[in-house]
A and B are shown apart, each in its own frame.
Chain A
Amino acid sequence: MSKVLMKGNEAVGAAAIAAGCRYFFGYPITPQSEVPEYLSRELPKVGGVFVQAESEVAAINMVYGAAGAGGRVLTSSSSPGIALKQEGISYLAGAELPCVIVDMMRGGPGLGSIQPSQTDYFLATRGGGNGDYRLLVLAPSDVQELVDLIMLGFDLADEYRNPVMILGDGMIGQMMEPVEFKEDLKREAPEKPWATTGTKGARKPNIINSLYLEAELLEEHNHHLQAKYEKMRQKEVRVETYNIEDADLVFAAYGTTARIVKTAIAKLEEEGHKVGLIRPITLFPYPYDAFKNINPNCKGVLTVEMNAGQMLDDVKIAVEGKIPTHFYGRTGGMVPGPAEIADKAREILGGGR
């Protein structure tokens, strides 16, 4: 398989098409407008459907209709637009509909900035819409992983009948990297006997619904959803770890921040420090267990994020109070450099230069 140089946002579209997605509903917003632009050009070539909706609200509701009718469907946006989609995402989760939602995060809150951030971690993992629901959240760190996780995301969405969120940021959307589309990740969508395709007079009507006016029935439904999320926790955790059994300091970071952290790690190792990294790839389900393998004499876990401290909460849960936790973050769309991250690490390790 040959490699192609692609911009992240365009790779989103190419990966979706390679995964068999034929329906996109979205709206322009910086820094992901190239996603709808690419798909408006490429989907018709494969007999697919592209609709620029009137808003992100309308787009997510189109996803709800299309997914309920059995389609493999994608939408994308950036943080302010993802905020608009929250109602629809709650309905998708409640009605158990598969779809992939790509979030290229930017500075916030409100209209914020157009530069990259990781400001939607809470929104993605704690639910931004109403109700007890979870999304399966995948956080790619480079454009190749973006492609792989999107293709995987469509299959996981169908397997669990759940929305899947790909949490990217402005950098990953805009940068160009070599990408290959792995054959073994391409899969057909499964049969969907629950989809609305018309009864043809041969079966009872299928109803796509999240309304249960009897509280007992809704509780039962919630138990079913929770059991599904537990199954995700058992089977779908993905994480990259480096040197955590031996390290005096372990970094926790995801997405493109993790790549910057890796550069900082290289510098610190040159100086003779023993440092490690836990890079969650699934943000839900979160790799809490990976933290159990950290060197018990470790001086601390340093969470680095492009926000004011969101994954930090999950790190605190993971270490169960046994290891001190620290945080370094930049907000507003500012991107941390490896030098400032290394400085913070040295502070914690004691005796920095």
Chain B
Amino acid sequence: MAVIFQKTRGLTDVPTHYCPGCTHGIIHRLVAECLEELGVLDDAIGVAPVGCSVMAYKYFNCDMHEAAHGRAPAVATGIKRVRPDNFVFTYQGDGDLASIGTAEIVHAAHRGEKISTIFVNNAIYGMTGGQMAPTTLVGQKTTTSPYGRDKETQGSPIRMSELLATIEGAAFVERVAVDTPANIRKAKKAIKECFQVQIDRKGFGIVEVLSTCPTNWGLTPPEALKWLEKNMIPYYPLGNFRRPEEVK
């Protein structure tokens, strides 16, 4: 028997605190595998957000910074400017990146900072107990939109990938999902391509990963994956929005 799948050394042995069935675990694994497979794990410096993944610095087996809410792209900018040969990534949720941190992510892309961002979009604020996120869908009930998100007073959800794809300095922008094994495999491909863009010094890269929050959505983990497919993918279409031109 040959081992065809085992845990990557890009993850530490620390058991995660994430809820059962939380897709953070899947995404952490994909990031860690890509870092290992691209040979940059030992040069990697990651920036953890504020959100459920605030303790990501315990789970990735590389140097890590904890950042203030939303500020990870600015922290990553500081790191990469001092350590241009290191691989620098941020891992952020929808509150971190699409709410308090919109200026920082837009300007990191705008400056074409050679960093890679993993944006975990689960349409809700998990860590603080299920409040509305900028990515919460219209009609979706959360603890701060108890009657369902009202477009009139609370706006429509924000599509960050489409927004960032309009920025010249954003060399790679793709949206993926982790609701099925097939989509997970595609997500890994996108993350790997995004990381390669940094290695090739082509500019800023981001992969938006549609994710679930079974606990705050009030669904079982398998039900949550189905909810993602049925409700999130139609509003947040999967696909690549920007990639560097091939240089022949």
Contact = CB atoms under 8 A, between A and B. Distances in A.
Contacts of A62: 74-75, 77-78, 81
Contacts of B191: none
B63 interface: yes
Contact of B47 (A57, A65, A199): A65
Interface stretch (B54-62, B175-183, B195-203, B204-212): B54-62
A61 B81 contact: no
A198 interface: yes
B232 interface: no
B43 A198 contact: yes
Given A49-B82, A53-B107, A68-B79, A207 B66 contact: yes
Kindly state the interface size class of chain B when it binds its partner.
Answer: 35 or more
Interface stretch (A69-77, A236-244, A262-270, A336-344): A69-77
B196 to A, nearest CB: 18
Most chain A CB within 10 A, of B43, B54, B79, B82, is at B82
Interface in A249-277: none
A197 interface: yes
Contacts of B55: 211, 213
Contact of B62 (A63, A198, A209): A198
Contacts of A65: 47, 65, 67, 74-80, 82
B179 to A, nearest CB: 30
A23 B67 contact: no
A208 interface: yes
Kindly state the interface size class of chain A when it binds its partner.
Answer: 35 or more
B54 A23 contact: no
Nearest to B57: A207
Contacts of A88: 68, 71
B64 A207 contact: yes
A196 B71 contact: no
B107 A209 contact: no
A73 to B, nearest CB: 7
Contact of A206 (B63, B76, B82): B63
Nearest to A54: B107
Contacts of B79: 65-66, 68-69, 196
A205 B86 CA distance: 14
A69 B82 contact: yes
Contacts of A351: none
B71 A58 contact: yes
Most chain B CB within 10 A, of A25, A49, A57, A198, is at A198
A145 interface: no
B168 interface: no
B44 interface: yes
Nearest to B104: A58
B81 A201 contact: no
A63 B107 CA distance: 16
A197 B43 CA distance: 7
A202 B63 CA distance: 12
A51 interface: yes
Interface string B96-122: 000000011011000100000000000
B45 interface: yes
B104 A208 contact: no
B74 A53 contact: yes
A65 B66 CA distance: 9
Contacts of A57: 71, 74, 103
Contacts of A63: 78
Nearest to B60: A205
B159 interface: no
Contacts of A61: 67-68, 71, 74-75, 78, 104
B42 interface: yes
B83 interface: yes
A87 B63 contact: no
Contact of B66 (A49, A55, A73, A209): A209
A226 interface: no
B64 to A, nearest CB: 5
Interface string A318-330: 0000000000000
Nearest to B74: A61
Nearest to A64: B75
A67 interface: yes
Nearest to A95: B66
Nearest to B43: A198
B73 to A, nearest CB: 8
A205 B103 contact: no
A201 B74 CA distance: 26
Contacts of B81: 23, 49, 51, 62, 66, 71
A247 to B, nearest CB: 48
A69 B43 contact: no
A332 to B, nearest CB: 31
A91 interface: yes
Contacts of A199: 42, 61-63
B82 A71 contact: yes
Contacts of A71: 78, 81-82
Interface of A: 23, 25, 49, 51, 53-55, 57-59, 61-71, 73, 87-88, 91, 95, 196-202, 205-211, 213
Interface of B: 41-45, 47, 54-55, 57, 60-68, 71, 74-83, 86-87, 103-104, 106-107, 111
**What are the 6 closest A-B residue pairs judged by CB atoms, nearest first?**
A65-B78, A66-B78, A196-B63, A61-B74, A62-B78, A65-B75
Given A49-B81, A196-B63, 8 more contacts: A51-B111, A64-B68, A65-B76, A69-B82, A198-B87, A209-B64, A210-B66, A213-B55
